[in-house]
């Protein structure tokens, strides 16, 4: 009834496999089924006696262990098909580990450009939303930016406040060519971790290294395809896709949303006076300032040159202007640049979605409002009249 035996029973190539708790009801029907579909040889097996018995038994055990490790490695390597989806990959990996090792909790951490992600597989009680004490017991840092998914052996969810008491812990690094990529940790709550379980989890962590590297490479490829190389924000293509997606959602659910275009004031003079390298540095600082004040639901990208486009879902014109004002203040607060401009300001044009508008029309309204902001003296926010 242990996970390792169940895994081996399903993958050893036998004609049938019956779990221990189902033997009473399934054993005889399974035997009858096998006898009906196959010619079973009942020739006696010659028993080896004397001195050869022990070496042959030991050899059989070694071969079984090698075959077991080969099957586990093969199962892990099959996850190469899921490395384009980190969440699915992590879920598949902890599910394989749960079939071949016994533990109370398993935690997989994969690092990445935007911080680590954690996947927990729980056999022992675990609350639906683990509190900081539970996370600390499982050596997971708590905080608002925590990215966590939980897989459970059963549907049973422990009530809030349930404590996690750890008796034993083992950790196994996930790396490729000595590059650290994450970690696999097993925790024993009811009993200590077995030696075979530790060896099996170490094998899984070793096999995971190259697959995790593939996950990171695919994520980086997607990021580069969707990001502006200079600022790290969305590029224009991704901005357009986000805009059209929110437009479709607004039409379907009859909800508001707004867009805002930001243009850095007198940017040409920055390039002319201080050089293009300084101009690039100004744009990077402006991008960081814009991101620092945006809400989690907002999306921002570099629209082109010194222009930035912000999409604000479920936000009317008044709320969008408030967000734009915070962005304007953030840019105006950028400290003076060494060997560069003392102050940077920007102008903003804001427009709200209307049912008759498409993406191009909405951007055009924002652009017209931006033009009015520049005509009015720059370093200000102007809202478009809703047409």
- Could you tell me the CA-to-CA distances from 371 to 272, 376, 378 in Å, in that order? 22, 9, 9
Is there a contact between 265 and 308 (Cβ–Cβ < 8 Å)? no
**CA quadruple 242, 380, 346, 377: dihedral positive or negative?**
positive
CA angle 44, 49, 55 (to 5 degrees): 110
* Rounded distance between C-alpha atoms, residue 176 and residue 210, angstroms: 6
- Could you tell me the CA-to-CA distances from 384 to 134, 135, 217, 293 in Å, in that order? 50, 48, 42, 22
**DSSP string for residues in 89-144:** HHHHHHHHHHHH---SEEEEEE--TT--EEEEEESS--BSS--HHHHHHTT---ST
Compute and round to an integer the Cα radius of gyration of the chain.
30
Q: Which of 175, 246, 306, 352 is catalytic?
A: 306
- Could you tell me the CA-to-CA distances from 40 to 11, 31, 33, 36, 133 in Å, in that order? 20, 11, 12, 9, 57
- Could you tell me the CA-to-CA distances from 13 to 9, 16, 204, 261 in Å, in that order? 8, 8, 22, 63
According to DSSP, the β-strands at 381-383 and 346-352 are parallel
Q: Provide the b/e sequence for 212-244 (b: ≥16 CB within 10 Å).
A: bbbbbeebeeeeeebbbeebebbbeebbbebbe
* Rounded distance between C-alpha atoms, residue 334 and residue 319, angstroms: 24
Q: Give, for 240, the enclosing helix (H) or strand (E).
A: helix 236-253
User: Is 87 a residue of the active site?
Assistant: no
Q: Dump strand ranges (E) for the chain.
A: 105-110, 117-122, 147-152, 168-176, 179-188, 257-264, 299-304, 307-313, 346-352, 381-383
Instruction: Give the active site residues.
Output: 306
């Amino acid at each position: 009834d242990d996970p390792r035996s169940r895994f081996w029973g399903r993958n050893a190539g036998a004609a049938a496999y019956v779990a221990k708790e189902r033997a009473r009801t399934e054993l005889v029907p399974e035997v009858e089924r096998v006898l009906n579909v196959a010619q079973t040889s009942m020739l006696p097996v010659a028993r080896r006696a004397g001195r050869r018995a022990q070496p042959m038994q030991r050899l059989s055990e070694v071969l079984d262990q090698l075959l077991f490790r080969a099957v586990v490695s093969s199962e892990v390597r099959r996850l190469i098909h899921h490395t384009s989806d980190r969440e699915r990959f992590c879920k598949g990996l902890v599910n394989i580990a749960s079939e071949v090792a016994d533990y109370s909790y398993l935690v997989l951490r994969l690092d990445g450009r935007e911080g680590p992600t954690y996947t927990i597989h729980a056999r022992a009680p675990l609350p639906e939303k683990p509190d900081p004490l539970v996370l600390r017991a499982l050596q997971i840092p708590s905080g608002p930016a925590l990215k966590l998914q939980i897989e459970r052996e059963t549907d049973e969810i422990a009530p809030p406040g349930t404590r996690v008491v750890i008796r034993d812990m083992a950790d196994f690094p996930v790396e490729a060519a000595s590059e650290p990529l994450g970690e696999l940790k097993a925790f024993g709550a009811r009993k200590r971790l077995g030696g075979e379980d530790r060896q099996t989890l170490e094998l899984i962590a070793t096999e995971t290294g190259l697959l995790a590297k593939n996950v990171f490479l695919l994520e980086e490829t997607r990021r580069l395809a969707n990001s502006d190389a200079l600022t790290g924000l969305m590029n224009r293509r991704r901005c357009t896709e986000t805009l059209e997606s929110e437009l479709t959602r607004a039409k379907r659910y009859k909800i508001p949303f707004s867009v805002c275009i930001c243009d850095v004031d007198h940017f040409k003079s920055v390039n002319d006076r201080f050089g293009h390298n300084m101009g690039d540095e100004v744009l990077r600082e402006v991008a960081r300032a814009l991101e620092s004040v945006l809400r989690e639901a907002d999306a921002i990208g570099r629209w082109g040159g010194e222009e930035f486009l912000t999409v604000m879902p479920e936000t009317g014109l008044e709320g969008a202007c408030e967000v734009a004002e915070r962005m304007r203040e953030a840019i105006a607060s950028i400290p003076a640049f060494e060997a560069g401009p003392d102050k940077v300001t920007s102008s903003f044009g804001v427009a709200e979605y209307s049912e008759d508008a498409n993406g191009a029309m909405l951007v055009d309204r924002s652009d017209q409002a931006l033009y009015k902001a520049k005509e009015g003296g720059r370093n200000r926010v102007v809202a478009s009249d809703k047409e």
